[in-house]
Amino acid sequence: MTKHLLLGQTLHFTGNPLTTAWKDCAHHDSAGGVLIDGERIVVVGSAATLKDENPDAKITDYGSALITAGFVDAHMHYPQTGIIASWGKQLIDWLNTYTFPEEARFSDRAYADQIAAQTLDLALAHGTTTLTSFCTIHPESVDAFFSAAATRNMAVVAGKTCMDRNAPDNLRDTAQSAYEDSKALLQKWHGKGRATYAITPRFSPTSTPEQLAALGALWAEHPDTLMQTHLSEQLPEIDWVKSLYAGEQDYLATYEKFGLLGERGLYGHAIHLEQREIDRLRETGAATIHCPTSNCFIGSGLFDLMGLAKTGLNIGLATDTGGGSSFSMLRTMAAAYEIGQLRGTALHPAQLMWLATEGSARTLHMQGKIGHLGPGAMADITVLDLGSTPAIAQRTNRADSIWDALFPTIMMGDDRAIKDVWVAGQKH
């Protein structure tokens, strides 16, 4: 098996810079190297040492480009790829006007195959090597996504979206069919290759208590799967939940009551949380997923990233395509920075890069396997050109540290900043 040695600047992490000093856990080498053997990273170290110790390795020299772990998108909707950047709606109107009509098309396997391939290729072009996606109610949509990921050897998380009320008739299942379809799909895909299944109620308003109970029972039967849903994205949504689940303490209680709160749970948005919800999410080890471009685009609110991080909550970062307005995790990091500013905290580039890689991987319980530039991790790698446009280059040329050089790419970068992407040791 041929060894590959990638040379350039390297960036890796040995801790969480949201809870410890970034200087203590972010490690940069201006003349570094990453040795790949097959699908995995063997060692990260100095270029000179790795070249001396591995004279037979095939070398790719990226010069001053920055070699990082591939980006990990912890919450998105691949069926919404075609409606990204649609004008002028908040959440409920967005679903009715754009999302539901588009999702109805995914009963057609050929169409689902087309969009799945398009979505994954767009992700790779933007340096994202793992996607965590909601599919539609159609099992065909799940098969299409996992099949497309398998042909690219990508680690992905996905599940059939379950809805049995407050949705068009052609997008409703039942409590029983949601259970049976999800069970069949997770038995088919979970743990096969690089696929991870996530039990997926869209959110409490589109599931009856009976459906949530059925999905909670399924999760209890298969506790090694993930569970993904939405939580407290917009204030009118929270009022809707209160009207549908009268008597429950809060939004999170509508999941908790039916066995849908746990350490392998992923709760998208989580902007308008009550203190009890924060406490229970932390106590159970559940993850909240920050979707900053979506939160701005749909007018949802300002996620309290640092406030929640200080409580010990597990937090990931996501594009939330297509409510999110970009396929790029760079743009997503930029939006997280901007929201942080509005909340009174200027996030450091190290914190943003950690969120987009290690942090998101941790929410998926894949820490050390993906989103990680270190020995034993899968060689999912993104190489950033830190001077990809004239505007970025002129700023980077003034930089006196790696952070000054990287930050303009975070704030102004797009797919042009992606010099190369490696997935499981193969360049794409």
DSSP for 10-70 reads EEEESS-TTTS-HHHHEEEEEEEEEEEETTEEEEEEEHHHHHHH-TTSEEEEEEEEEEEEP
Paired tokens of 60:
């790719």
State the Cα–Cα distance between residues 302 and 193, nearest whole angstrom. 37
State the Cα–Cα distance between residues 250 and 231, nearest whole angstrom. 10
Paired tokens of 324:
């999110």
pLDDT of 92: 81
Average pLDDT over residues 234-258: 96
- pLDDT beyond 90 at 91: no
Give the strands of the sheet with 58-69, arranged side by side: 40-46, 26-37, 3-13, 58-69, 381-384, 418-423, 426-427
- pLDDT beyond 80 at 1: no
pLDDT of 29: 98
In the structure, what pLDDT confidence band is assigned to residue 203 with cuts at 50, 70 and 90?
Answer: very high
Angle subtended at Cα 270 by Cα 267 and Cα 275, rounded to the nearest 5 degrees:
110
Could you tell me if 130 and 380 are in contact, meaning their C-beta atoms sit under 8 angstroms apart?
A: yes
Instruction: Give 254-297 pLDDT, tens digit per residue.
Output: 999 999 999 999 999 999 999 999 999 999 999 999 999 999 99
Length of the chain: 428
Average pLDDT over residues 59-78: 98
Could you tell me if 79 and 102 are in contact, meaning their C-beta atoms sit under 8 angstroms apart?
A: yes
The phi and psi torsions of 346 (rounded to 5 degrees) equal -90, 105
Give the domain 71-327 fold: TIM Barrel (3.20.20)
Lowest mean pLDDT among 42-46, 99-103, 207-211: 99-103
State the Cα–Cα distance between residues 333 and 244, nearest whole angstrom. 35
Per DSSP (E only), the strands in 272-362 are 287-290, 314-317
Could you tell me if 358 and 22 are in contact, meaning their C-beta atoms sit under 8 angstroms apart?
A: no
- pLDDT beyond 70 at 423: yes
| Residue boundaries of the structural domains of the chain | 3-70+371-427, 71-327
The percent of residues in the chain predicted with pLDDT above 90, rounded, is 96
**pTM score of the predicted model:** 0.97
Strands 26-37 and 3-13: antiparallel
**DSSP code, position 324:** B
CATH number given to 3-70+371-427? 2.30.40.10
Asked whether the domain spanning 71-327 has the same topology as the one spanning 3-70+371-427, the reply is no
Say which residues have a Cβ less than 8 Å from residue 375's Cβ, sequence separation at least 6: 41, 42, 43, 44
State the Cα–Cα distance between residues 69 and 31, nearest whole angstrom. 17
Of the candidates 103, 249, 94, 75, the one whose C-alpha atom is nearest the C-alpha of residue 241 is 249
What value does the mean pLDDT of the chain take?
97
pLDDT of 94: 81
Instruction: Give 295-334 pLDDT, tens digit per residue.
Output: 999 899 999 999 999 999 999 999 999 999 999 999 999 9
Classified as helix, coil or strand, 117 is helix
DSSP run (H or E) holding 211: helix 209-221
Average pLDDT over residues 149-177: 97
Could you tell me if 65 and 57 are in contact, meaning their C-beta atoms sit under 8 angstroms apart?
A: no
State the Cα–Cα distance between residues 277 and 54, nearest whole angstrom. 52
Strands 287-290 and 226-231: unpaired
Angle subtended at Cα 144 by Cα 194 and Cα 158, rounded to the nearest 5 degrees:
50
Give the Å distances, CA to CA, from 372 to 205, 233, 360, 362. 36, 29, 10, 10
Give the Å distances, CA to CA, from 132 to 147, 158, 283. 14, 6, 24
- pLDDT beyond 90 at 90: no
Could you tell me if 208 and 173 are in contact, meaning their C-beta atoms sit under 8 angstroms apart?
A: no
Could you tell me if 266 and 227 are in contact, meaning their C-beta atoms sit under 8 angstroms apart?
A: yes
Classified as helix, coil or strand, 166 is coil
